């Protein structure tokens, strides 16, 4: 009987095993991106940009040309590459410390200039690589090594919601949030990633997909329970869905009360 491979490694991934911790969903997100690149036939003209963070070694895992970026500056690097070679498909893959903390300015300006690049933003509510420090996305009360008593919103404020923030800029084409805490959500996440890359393929400007992800090691929660933790603690604060589309309305809020 003929045998068909119905699920295997996408060609946009290399054979190198990842260094991610057991159960860390960075691996799932890598695969979804790679599958999309393959499906849209972009793999051979794509340049990826790895952040500083757990996914710093992404260049070992994606079978495309790659840049390592300095911490937080991947969107600036993306700008440089895309402006130099508009024919390339350029994406950055960034964690929440990288994008929402040190790199907040770069991603907002890249979005606001309307660079024709795609940002995959992995929000795991903590700094993974450096061992579990608080991120701007850390949940209120969540313990991290630099907030050992839990994030205190009086001292550190509330978590930043990147998809919301960026979608209020007028320029960017596509902004969405997805999650990979269940296979069903992964399917949706892939659809969001596909739409983002399709935007770029069609010559539209900036697209970003925020993907909620787990960090079992630094959360100190076993992998399967981490998925539940994400669902229970992160989902309510980080709603999933499409925040901005190329055709959609200007999403900047109006004043509560007008002036003068």
Partner 1 sequence: MAKKLMKGAEAMGEAAIQAGCRLFFGYPITPQNEIPEYMSARLPQVGGTFVQAESEVAASNMIYGAAGAGERVLTSSSSPGISLMMEGLSYIAGSELPVVVINIMRAGPGLGGILPAQGDYFQATKGGGHGDYRCLVLAPWSVQEAADLVQDAFDLADYYRNPVLILGDGLIGQMMEPVEFKADRRPCKPLAPKTWASTGWKGDRPRAIINSLFLDPEALERHNQKLAAKYAAMERDEKRVAEVGTDGQYEVLVVAYGTVARVVYTALDDLRQAGVRAAMVRPVSLFPFPYEAVRRAAEKAKAVLVAELSTGQMIEDVRLAVEGRVPVHFIGRQGGMLLTPEDIAARVRELAAGEGSHA
Partner 2 sequence: MAQHDVVIAGFGGQGVLLVGKMLAYAGMRENKEVSWFPSYGPEMRGGTCNCTVVISDRPVGSPVVQHPSAIIVLNLPSLDKFEPLLRSGGLLCVNTSLIHRQPRRDDVRVVAVPANDIAIELHNPRGANMVALGAYVGSTGAVSERVLEEVIQETFAGKPGLVEANLQAFRRGVAIGRGESTQEVTA
Partner 3 sequence: MPQIVIDAEGCKGCELCVHACPQNILAMGTNLNSKGYFYARMVEPMRCIGCRLCCITCPDVAITMRVSGTMYHYFAY
- Residues at the interface with a copy of itself (CB under 8 A): 101-105, 108-109, 111-114, 136, 153-161, 164-165, 167-171, 176-179, 182, 184-185, 187-189, 192, 205, 239-245, 248, 251-260
Cα 113 to Cα 79, 166, 170, 172, 210: the distances in Å are 9, 12, 10, 8, 19
What is the contact surface with partner 1 in residues (CB under 8 A)? 44-47, 49, 52, 56-57, 59, 63-73, 76-85, 88, 97, 101-102, 104-106, 109, 113, 127, 129-131, 133-134, 136, 145-149, 155-156
Q: According to CB under 8 A, which one of 12, 26, 137, 207 is a site residue for partner 3?
A: 26
**Within 91-130, which residues bind partner 2 (CB under 8 A)?**
128-129
| 8 vs 183 by CB, closer to a copy of itself | 183
* Shortest distance in whole angstroms from residue 57 CB to partner 1: 8
Kindly state the smallest distance separating residue 221's Cβ from partner 3, in Å: 12
Among the residue ranges 50-58, 69-77, 117-125, 147-155, the one whose residues contact partner 2 (CB under 8 A): 50-58
- Per partner kind, with CB cut-offs from 5 to 8 A, the member of partner 3, partner 2, partner 1, none near residue 119 is none
CA nearest to 207, candidates 40, 3, 58, 7: 40
How many other CB atoms are there within 10 angstroms of residue 23's CB atom?
Answer: 17
Which residue lies nearer to ligand TPP by CB, 10 or 97? 97
Is residue 130 a contact point for ligand TPP (CB under 6 A)?
yes
| Pairing label, strands 241-244, 207-212 | unpaired
Q: Cα–Cα distance between 12 and 157 in angstroms, integer?
A: 39
The secondary structure of residue 231, as a DSSP letter, is I
Q: How far apart are CA 118 and CA 120, in angstroms?
A: 7
* Consecutive H or E run containing 192: helix 183-201
């Amino acid at each position: 009987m003929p045998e068909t491979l119905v699920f295997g490694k996408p060609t946009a991934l290399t054979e190198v095993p990842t260094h991610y911790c057991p159960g860390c969903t960075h691996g799932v997100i890598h695969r979804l991106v790679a599958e999309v690149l393959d499906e849209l036939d972009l793999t051979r003209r794509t340049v990826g940009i790895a952040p500083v963070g757990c996914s710093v070694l992404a260049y070992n895992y994606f079978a495309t040309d790659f840049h390592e970026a300095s911490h937080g500056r991947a969107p600036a690097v993306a700008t440089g590459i895309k402006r130099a070679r508009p024919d390339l498909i350029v994406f950055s893959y960034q964690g929440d410390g990288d994008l929402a903390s040190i790199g907040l300015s770069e991603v907002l300006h890249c979005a606001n200039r309307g660079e024709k690049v795609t940002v995959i933003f992995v929000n795991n509510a903590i700094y993974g690589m450096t061992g579990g420090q608080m991120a701007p996305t850390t949940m209120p009360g969540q313990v991290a090594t630099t907030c050992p008593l839990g994030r205190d919103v009086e001292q550190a404020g509330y978590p930043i919601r990147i998809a919301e923030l960026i979608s209020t800029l007028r320029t960017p084409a596509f902004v969405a949030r997805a999650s990979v805490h269940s296979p069903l959500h992964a399917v949706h996440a892939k659809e969001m990633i596909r739409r983002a890359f399709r935007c770029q393929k069609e010559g539209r400007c900036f697209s970003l997909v925020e993907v909620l992800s787990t960090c079992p090691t630094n959360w100190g929660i076993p992998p399967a329970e981490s998925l539940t933790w994400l669902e229970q603690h992160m989902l309510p604060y980080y709603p999933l869905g499409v925040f901005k589309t190329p055709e959609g309305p200007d999403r900047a809020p109006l004043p509560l009360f007008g002036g003068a």
